[in-house]
A and B are shown apart, each in its own frame.
Chain A
Amino acid sequence: ARAAFGRRATARMPRRPPQLGAAASLGGPGGHRRPCINVTFVKAEPVWEASVVAKTGQTVLEVAHEHGIDIEGACGGECACSTCHVILEQAAYDGMPEPDDDEADMLDLASHVSDTSRLGCQVKLERGRDDGLRIHIPAGVVNLLA
Chain B
Amino acid sequence: RAPMMRKPKWLKMYNPNVTPEGAETYKKVRATIKQTGLATVCQEARCPNAGECWSSGTATVMIMGDTCTRGCRFCSIATSRKPPPPDPDEPSKVAHAVEQWGIDYIVLTMVDRDDLPDQGAAHVAATVRNLRERDPKLHIETLVGDFQGKMQYVEELADSGMHVYAHNIETVERLQNHVRDRRAGYAQSLSVLEHAKKYRPDLVTKSSIMLGLGEQDEEVHQALRDLRDAGVEVVTFGQYLQPTKRNMKVERYVTPEEFDGWARAGEALGLHVASGPMVRSSYRAGEFYKARIAKRA
Chain A interfacial positions (CB closer than 8 Å to B): 1, 4-6, 8-9, 12, 65, 68-70, 72-76, 78-81, 83, 102, 109, 142-145
Q: Does B267 contact A (CB under 8 A)?
A: no
Q: A65 vs B245: C-alpha distance in the bound complex, in angstroms?
A: 8
* Selected contact of A78 from candidates B46, B81, B177, B245, CB within 8 Å: B81
Q: A72 vs B69: C-alpha distance in the bound complex, in angstroms?
A: 18
Q: Does B247 contact A (CB under 8 A)?
A: yes
- In contact, A4 and B30 (Cβ under 8 angstroms): yes
- In contact, A9 and B81 (Cβ under 8 angstroms): no
Q: Does B87 contact A (CB under 8 A)?
A: no
A–B Cβ pairs within 8 angstroms, 13 of them? A4-B30, A9-B44, A70-B2, A72-B247, A74-B72, A74-B75, A76-B79, A78-B80, A78-B81, A102-B81, A109-B177, A144-B178, A144-B248
- A4-B30, A68-B1 known; 17 new pairs, CB 8 Å cut-off, are A1-B13, A5-B46, A6-B34, A8-B44, A74-B247, A75-B70, A75-B71, A76-B246, A80-B71, A80-B81, A81-B72, A81-B73, A81-B181, A83-B73, A142-B249, A143-B249, A144-B251
- In contact, A5 and B43 (Cβ under 8 angstroms): yes
Q: How far is the CB of A45 from chain B (nearest CB, A)?
A: 12
Q: Does B66 contact A (CB under 8 A)?
A: yes
- Contact mask B15-50 → A, CB, 8 Å, 1/0? 000000000001000100010000100011010001
Q: Does B125 contact A (CB under 8 A)?
A: no
- In contact, A1 and B51 (Cβ under 8 angstroms): yes
Shortest beta-carbon contacts, A-B, top 8: A75-B71, A81-B71, A75-B79, A80-B71, A73-B246, A74-B73, A144-B214, A78-B79
Residue of B nearest to A3 (CB): B30
What chain A residues lie within 8 Å of B46 (beta carbons)?
Answer: 5, 9
Q: Does B151 contact A (CB under 8 A)?
A: no
* Selected contact of B71 from candidates A4, A68, A76, CB within 8 Å: A76
Q: Does B213 contact A (CB under 8 A)?
A: yes
- In contact, B69 and A74 (Cβ under 8 angstroms): no
What chain A residues lie within 8 Å of B249 (beta carbons)?
Answer: 142-144
- In contact, B43 and A9 (Cβ under 8 angstroms): yes
What chain B residues lie within 8 Å of A69 (beta carbons)?
Answer: 1
- In contact, A109 and B213 (Cβ under 8 angstroms): no
What chain B residues lie within 8 Å of A109 (beta carbons)?
Answer: 177, 182
Residue of A nearest to B46 (CB): A9
Q: Does B78 contact A (CB under 8 A)?
A: yes
* Selected contact of A76 from candidates B2, B26, B78, B181, CB within 8 Å: B78
Residue of B nearest to A142 (CB): B249
Q: How far is the CB of A81 from chain B (nearest CB, A)?
A: 4
What chain B residues lie within 8 Å of A145 (beta carbons)?
Answer: 214, 251
- In contact, B213 and A144 (Cβ under 8 angstroms): yes
What chain A residues lie within 8 Å of B245 (beta carbons)?
Answer: 65, 68
What chain B residues lie within 8 Å of A12 (beta carbons)?
Answer: 78
- Contact mask B165-177 → A, CB, 8 Å, 1/0? 0000000000001
Q: A57 vs B216: C-alpha distance in the bound complex, in angstroms?
A: 43
Residue of A nearest to B249 (CB): A143
Residue of A nearest to B70 (CB): A80
Q: A12 vs B246: C-alpha distance in the bound complex, in angstroms?
A: 12
Q: A2 vs B47: C-alpha distance in the bound complex, in angstroms?
A: 12
Q: How far is the CB of B37 from chain A (nearest CB, A)?
A: 10
Q: How far is the CB of B244 from chain A (nearest CB, A)?
A: 8
Residue of B nearest to A75 (CB): B71
What chain B residues lie within 8 Å of A9 (beta carbons)?
Answer: 43-44, 46
Residue of B nearest to A76 (CB): B79
Q: A72 vs B2: C-alpha distance in the bound complex, in angstroms?
A: 13
Whether A8 touches B247, Cβ cut-off 8 Å, given contacts A76-B78, A78-B79, A80-B69, is: no
Q: A76 vs B70: C-alpha distance in the bound complex, in angstroms?
A: 11
Q: A72 vs B74: C-alpha distance in the bound complex, in angstroms?
A: 10
